[in-house]
Amino acid sequence: MTEHVTQPDLSAALDQLWMQFLPQIEERVAVLESASAALTEGELKDDLRAAAHSAAHKLAGVLGTFGLTRGTVLAREAEMLYSGDTDPASAEHLTDISAQLRALVAGRR
């Protein structure tokens, strides 16, 4: 006999997983915020750029799972921008991406 998962059960399970992973998600957004702030100041070091690239990559992978497809698109864009030598002209755009991700994450609660 097969067991069927109902939509409310799936939603409840996703909500539970969201709460479990929310601290990590918020921490990754904070890394992006720190990196964009450092870039704005002209002080983005390679280790923080690499951490921002990794955080953006992980966010791109997880946000869509929780129905935040716009967050996945934004995180992929940040990932691309942090993938190599980050152009200081990108600072304002990366700051905006971080702010949008923060708002999306806050709105999912």
pLDDT digit string, tens, across residues 45-93: 999 999 999 999 999 999 999 999 999 999 999 999 999 888 888 999 9
- The answer to whether the Cα torsion of 49, 51, 53, 55 is positive or negative is negative
- Opening angle at CA 53, ends 49 and 54, nearest 5: 120
DSSP state of 67: T
**Residue 20 placed within a domain:** no
Number of domains in the chain: 1
Q: What pLDDT shows up at residue 9?
A: 85
> How large a percentage of the chain has pLDDT more than 70?
95
pTM: 0.89
**Residue 40 placed within a domain:** yes
Q: What pLDDT shows up at residue 4?
A: 65
Q: What pLDDT shows up at residue 2?
A: 54
Dist CA 95 CA 15 (whole Å): 28
Q: What pLDDT shows up at residue 5?
A: 61
**Residue 17 placed within a domain:** no
Residue 70 domain boundaries: 25-108
How high is the mean pLDDT of the chain? 92
**Residue 53 placed within a domain:** yes
**Residue 6 placed within a domain:** no
**Residue 3 placed within a domain:** no
